[in-house]
Amino acid sequence: MADDKKLTTRAADFSAWYNEVIMRAELADYSPVRGCMVIRPNGYAIWEQMQRRLDEMFKDHGVQNAYFPLLIPQSFLSKEAEHVEGFAPELAVVTHGGGKELEEPLVIRPTSETIIYSMYAKWIQSYRDLPMLMNQWANVVRWEMRTRLFLRTAEFLWQEGHTAHVDEAEAEAFTLKILQTYRTFAEEWMAMPVLTGRKTDSERFAGALRTYCIEALMQDNKALQAGTSHNLGQNFAKAFQVTFQNDKGGLDYVWNTSWGVSTRLVGALVMTHGDDNGVITPPRLAQYQVVIVPIYKTDEERAQVLAAADLTLRELKAGGIRAHLDARDGVKPGAKYYEWEGRGVPFRLEIGPRDVAAGKVMLARRTGGRKVPMDTQGLAHTLRIEMDSMQVELLEAARTRREQNSIRGITKGSFLDFLARDGGFAYGGWCGDGKCEAEIKEETKATIRCLPDEEFQSPVRPETCMWCGRPATTEAVWARAY
């Protein structure tokens, strides 16, 4: 661990707490390159678990991985008018290569629609080639100076899926299928409840027809956009001439979707579950689900305890549990507890000489409560049940917190009060006018996070815009956001 100083509490300064927790758990570090961070092994291990599961989920939908160039000719971005307008301010530009000035500058991909659809134009001939379903795991760069570890960095890692379909209905269905996949991942793997819904035009992806998102509420009651799925319509198909012969012999433009989640999810995980002692990692995404700490004084005890600990380790691993034995000499058990707690390991097993004699281990849960003695017999099975239960409890706790920090049926007055207190998700009617949306943002810094899907809408449909009082066209969810 980086140091032993007490962490700032969440209540005292959430932002300081967040940085300290990450630094102490050695998830990431600042780099000498402005705007960029280093993902350290403890943080990367969480990302690897996320990647593994998401990759399986995408492949179950028939999506295949591929890899497209990092560098994109500047002219490509300009082919889709909204797209270039949205991304131009954030571009990193390569002007020299191999010691010479380039004829045309290349930009480092901020996202890969343009380069990918230029290839799709070559690969897609007929409706038989559709749908084309690809994903890439890659780094992207969006120039950004106000760095926040994992949440906002000039370079970040992500996956970006890109698909092509025969018609709008199929593209829309795929966009929503991915949105639900993201939701399932967030809830079942990250134990992070999310709202699903549609973005307003002002928050729509540059070049998309419609953008859908999953939105989570962090412990400081700020919203975090955790994933987006876009129906791109035929915008890029027209810009890059991605056409196909339909089954009647005519020529059509394809319908595209794109969708992504990033290493930002690691930050979301920390801000959803962490407590004043550090990170809490849901069991399904933990690098180590269980850490075993041996306790001994004499050499004889050491030999005996380590033998028992090693046996337990092997049994847990054989039972499919990601277990680690912290056998370091010269580090006291208490220091080990503190370190693994800070890193967020869900379960700790302590084994001392008396436990060995009794065929027991002491189980401590990262989420608190008393330590309890457990039989070593059948321990892997017991732990699997404990893990499932912690996974559910974390999700439920986060959902309860979110609901306690949500308000429905807002008026301008109650909305301003809500923001002046703790804030959170505020549901209310909206007139659908972008000017009204902009004014709210200007005056309160709160934005429309999404127009929520039916499941999340209020039982009573709002009739008027909570801000301007005109008739409401839809319900919206406002919050201050990362």
Amino acid sitting at position 121: A
Q: Which of residues 301-340 bind a copy of itself (CB under 8 A)?
A: 330
* Among 11, 16, 93, 358, interactor with a copy of itself by CB under 8 A: 93
Least gap, CB of 141 to a copy of itself (angstroms)? 7
Token pair, residue 307, equals 């033998």
Measured from the CB atom, the residue of 23 and 465 that comes closer to a copy of itself is 23
- Would you count residue 134 as binding a copy of itself (CB under 8 A)? yes
Look at the block and give the residue holding tokens 């930050």: 267
Binding mask 13-42 for a copy of itself (x = CB under 8 A): ----------------x-xxx--xxxxxx-
Measured from the CB atom, the residue of 64 and 202 that comes closer to a copy of itself is 64
Measured from the CB atom, the residue of 161 and 452 that comes closer to a copy of itself is 161
Dihedral sign from CA coordinates of 312, 316, 317, 322: negative
Rounded distance, CA 21 to CA 396, Å? 23
* Among 11, 16, 122, 439, interactor with a copy of itself by CB under 8 A: 122
Q: Which of residues 44-63 bind a copy of itself (CB under 8 A)?
A: 44-45, 47-48
Least gap, CB of 48 to a copy of itself (angstroms)? 7
Paired sense of beta strands 28-30 and 37-39, if any: antiparallel
Rounded distance, CA 309 to CA 361, Å? 9
Measured from the CB atom, the residue of 107 and 410 that comes closer to a copy of itself is 107
* Among 21, 50, 106, 266, interactor with a copy of itself by CB under 8 A: 106
Least gap, CB of 327 to a copy of itself (angstroms)? 13
Residue 374: phi and psi, rounded to 5, are: -130, 145
Least gap, CB of 232 to a copy of itself (angstroms)? 19
Cβ neighbour number for residue 329 with a 10 Å cutoff: 5
Token pair, residue 36, equals 């960029």
Q: Are 446 and 466 in contact (CB under 8 A)?
A: no
Rounded distance, CA 85 to CA 72, Å? 16
In order of 85, 328, 365, the CA distances from 442 in angstroms are 21, 55, 44
Neighbour-count burial for 387-414, b at 16+ CB within 10 Å, e otherwise = beebbeebbebbbebbeebbbbbbeeee
* Among 8, 19, 61, 73, interactor with a copy of itself by CB under 8 A: 73
Least gap, CB of 67 to a copy of itself (angstroms)? 4
Of 154, 162, 178, the C-alpha closest to 115 is 162
Beta bridge mates, 37: 30
- Would you count residue 236 as binding a copy of itself (CB under 8 A)? no
Least gap, CB of 379 to a copy of itself (angstroms)? 24
Q: Which of residues 137-196 bind a copy of itself (CB under 8 A)?
A: 138-139, 141, 143-145, 154-155, 157
Site for a copy of itself (CB under 8 A): how many residues?
57
* Among 23, 77, 115, 151, interactor with a copy of itself by CB under 8 A: 115
Rounded distance, CA 54 to CA 229, Å? 14
> Given the rule CB under 8 A, which residues bind a copy of itself?
29, 31-33, 36-41, 44-45, 47-48, 64-73, 76, 88-99, 105-106, 108, 115, 118-119, 122-123, 128, 134, 138-139, 141, 143-145, 154-155, 157, 330
